[in-house]
Amino acid sequence: MASGCRIGPSILNSDLAALGAECSRMLDCGADYLHLDVMDGHFVPNITFGHPVVESLRKRLGQEPFFEACSSCHYTVGLAIKPGTTVEHLAPWANQIDMALVMTVEPGFGGQKFMEDMMPKVQWLRTQFPSLDIEVDGGVGPDTIHKCAEAGANMIVSGSAIMKSADPRSVINLLRNVCSEAAQKRSLDR
């Protein structure tokens, strides 16, 4: 099985004027890693922040928090597919990467509707590559986590659902619990 269920809050919809504090708040609430959406206005229709901001966050938060996907290696490689890209495009690389990210919205903005029709991609990857870290990103929260978990995702990016909650810690715990239960069930079924 992939390396455990982990929750990475996306800080895209946080108070970007207080990004350092928002990241610390998420880590204090139990985030396993931080999902930083670097957008340059070319690949996606939005501009967020670039390497200098990520570097500043690293300085502020220290070496401990993961900004990437893997807990066991210094360099990690993830491949992401947008909704319009078929999973067959990613498949040839799946044995060489640390993580596959299946986007569950068109990348660009937080707060969009979860695309359930991306779940067959996750299911297929989980069946073919049982130990691959599979991440989902976009519209994931308490209402949609069951679909992601059942399909086989083990890395959960969640933005608005966590950021806008009055109790982010509970949301993070709920997402992790649902994901872990589904993973446990899968391993028993095998």
Ligand X SMILES: O=C(CO)[C@H](O)[C@H](O)COP(=O)(O)O
Give the residues lining the site for Fe ion (CB under 5 A).
Answer: 37, 137
Q: Is 37 a catalytic residue?
A: yes
Name the active-site residue from 32, 98, 133, 137.
137
Tokens 């589904």 found at: 182
- Rounded Cα gap, residues 190 and 178, in angstroms: 19
Q: Alpha-carbon distance 2 to 54, whole Å? A: 27
Assess contact for 157 and 135: CB atoms under 8 A. yes
Nearer to Fe ion, 42 or 184 (CB): 42
| Shortest Cβ 35–Fe ion spacing (Å) | 6
- Which residue, 121, 78, 83, is CA-closest to 101? 78
| Residue 9 found at the interface with ligand X (CB under 6 A) | no
Provide the CA 128 distance to its chain's centre, in angstroms.
20
| Catalytically annotated residue among 37, 40, 98, 133 | 37
69 forms part of the interface with ligand X (CB under 6 A): no
User: Taking CB under 6 A as the rule, does residue 37 contact ligand X?
Assistant: yes
Cα distances (angstroms) measured from residue 57 to each of 45, 84, 133, 171: 24, 32, 25, 24
Among the candidate windows 21-29, 124-132, 145-153, 154-162, which touches ligand X by CB under 6 A? Answer: 154-162
Q: Which of Fe ion, ligand X, none has residue 110 at its interface (CB below 5 to 8 Å by kind)?
A: ligand X
- Of 50 and 130, nearer to Fe ion (C-beta) is 50
> With CB under 6 A as the contact rule, which of the stretches 9-17, 20-28, 61-69, 83-91 interacts with ligand X?
9-17
Cα distance between residue 10 and residue 104, in whole Å: 14
97 or 175: CB nearest ligand X: 175
Binding span for ligand X by CB under 6 A among 55-63, 91-99, 131-139, 165-173? 131-139
Distances (CA, A) of 67 to 31, 64, 87, 105, 148: 11, 9, 24, 21, 21
Kindly list the catalytic residues: 37, 137
Query: Which positions lie near ligand X, rule CB under 6 A?
Result: 10, 12-13, 35, 37, 105, 107-112, 137-140, 157-161
